[in-house]
Structure 1
Amino acid sequence: MTYLTPLLSGFIAAAIGTIPPGLLNMTAAKIKIKEGKKNALWFVIGAVLVIFFQAYVAVLFARVIDNRPDVVTLLREVGFVIFSILTIYFLFFAKDPIAKKKTKIKKSKKSSFFLGMLLSGLNFFPIPYYVVVSVTLASYNLFTFQNPIILTFVLGSVLGAFGILYSYIAFFGRIEKKTDYFMRNMNTIIGTITGLVALATLFNILNYYFG
């Protein structure tokens, strides 16, 4: 029970943070459609590898910044800049892919793996997110900042993120024949999502300073 609680907490936290349509899960679906399931899985593996380190570092940060909300706000400001840049790129510069029926573009697994690491690394949301989650759990005595507990929580987070990302791959694989509209508007969808995240982050920043 000592390890089951942080494992389940990490899994649930990752599932909640990953299940809304976002850059990683939408890109995983995009790769599944264009390049096949294997490359999409390599993308997911690369992404969750970075999530492992993000969650681990976040929990270590939580030890220090439990009473320093200004540091959390700084992380939000960095995240706002990143999401704003991604929004501008996907809405105004990225070219929308053209859907091709029964045709898959073959790319190396290594390329998909490193793309997953890159996009996951550009996403600063997990760090403040897992900081807040771990501090909240600790306040209810459901989590302690001990190394075995931390690693168990992080493992649960990785499993939760992998499970949700894999679900996106499997879901879009079943409707592959009906994804023409989705493919034509992929960059607009991703850009809109990152834009909404940027706005939500900006709202939190303004609320901290003026709320």
Structure 2
Amino acid sequence: MEALVAFLVAFAFSFTGSIPPGTLNLTIIQLGLEHRLVAARRFAIAAALVEYPYAWLAAVSGEWITTSTGGLNELRLATALVMITLGVCGIVSASTPPARVQRSPKSGFRKGIVLGILNPLAFIYWLGISTYLQGQQWIDLSSTVTLHSYLAGVTLGAFALLFLLAHLARRLAVYVQQSHWLRRLPGLLLTGLGLYALGQYLASVIQGV
């Protein structure tokens, strides 16, 4: 049951976190518009696979932060501040129009790997999410099965959105690029979770007084 919960939570955060326009999803939207669905599928698989090691490093780091921190209240405060900072940065960056991706005649698996590796924000995103989820004790990644279920959810969530964008590019391309609310959704989500953690910290401090 814990493995299934970890998978579903990771899938949801991965799918949502891949929404803001960036190099990866703009590239696959362009491939979809060009009717290059085979290349788009290969690109989606490669980009999603790169999420696995990034999320693994983040999950291990998050578990170490959670288990090595002496006080739960201090962890809640630190996590809240990190999440709020990431969320606010995401909201601010979403206000900047994304750059247009130049067409490349060789788009596919190799390009997905390269662009996925050149996306270090994935590690920062998953570090914040993993630390938060473990700090709130919503998931436990101490077991191998649960950890890899979590990582599978990360990978499949990213692939699901990229695959969806490739096949629905004509309908979604303009909407994804122009919808301010959709672009700000991950930032708003992170900010909300951070405020929730901050509220828990303040409540525990008040109770302890």
> Sequence identity of aligned pairs in percent?
24
Measured after TM superposition, the shift of residue 147 of structure 1 is 1.8
Paired residue secondary structure (1:143): coil
Q: 1:167 aligns with which of 164, 167, 182?
A: 164
Question: Hey, what does 2:152 align to over in structure 1?
Answer: 155
Aligned to 2:133: 137
Structure 1 residues 61 and 139: alpha-carbon distance in aligned structure 2, compared to 1, 3 A threshold: closer
Instruction: After TM superposition, give the deviation of residue 34 of structure 1 in Å.
Output: 3.2
Could you tell me how far 1:35 is from its partner in structure 2?
A: 5.9
In the TM superposition, what is the alpha-carbon distance from 1:112 to its structure 2 partner?
1.4
8 Å contact 2:28–2:43 — kept in the other structure? yes
Contact 2:32 2:165 in 1 (8 A): no
Deviations 1:74-123 (A, max 9, x none): xx9xxx9xxxxxx9xx58xx86x5xxxxxxx9x56xx5111111111111
Cα deviation, residue 132, structure 1: 1.5
Q: 1:147 & 1:125 partners in 2: Cα distance?
A: 25
Contact 1:8 1:156 in 2 (8 A): yes
1:25 positional shift: 0.9
Q: CA RMSD in A?
A: 3.6
User: TM-score if structure 1 supplies the norm length?
Assistant: 0.62
Q: Deviations over 1:1-49 (max 9, x none)?
A: 2211100111011011102222211111112233610001111111011
Aligned residue identity for 2:134: A
CA contact (8 A) 1:32 1:39 kept: no
Tell me the TM-score normalised to structure 2 length. Answer: 0.62
Q: Per-residue CA shift, 1:192-211, capped at 9, x if unaligned?
A: xxxx99xx9xxxxxxxxxxx
Number of paired residues? 160
Does residue 128 in structure 1 map to residue 124 in structure 2?
yes
Asked if residue 114 in structure 1 is aligned to residue 137 in structure 2, the reply is: no
Residues 60-71 of structure 1 correspond to what in structure 2 (within 5 A)? 60-66=60-66
Question: What amino acid maps onto 2:137 in structure 1?
Answer: N
SS at match of 2:168: helix
Cα pair 1:33 1:172 within 8 Å, conserved: yes
CA distance in 2, matches of 1:55, 1:11: 12
Aligned 8 A contact 2:63 2:134 in 1: no
Which 4+ stretches in 1 moved above 6 angstroms?
none
Query: Which residue number corresponds to residue 101 of structure 1?
Result: none
Structure 1: runs of 5+ lacking an equivalent: 81-86, 98-104, 183-188, 190-195, 201-211
Q: What CA distance in whole angstroms lies between the structure 2 residues aligned with 1:30 and 1:155?
A: 26
Give yes or no for contact 2:14–2:157 (8 Å, CA) kept in 1: yes
SS of the residue 1:3 aligns to? helix
Rounded to whole Å, the distance in 1 between the matches of 2:52 and 2:35 is: 25
Q: Equivalents in 2 of 1:65, 1:30: separation in Å?
A: 39
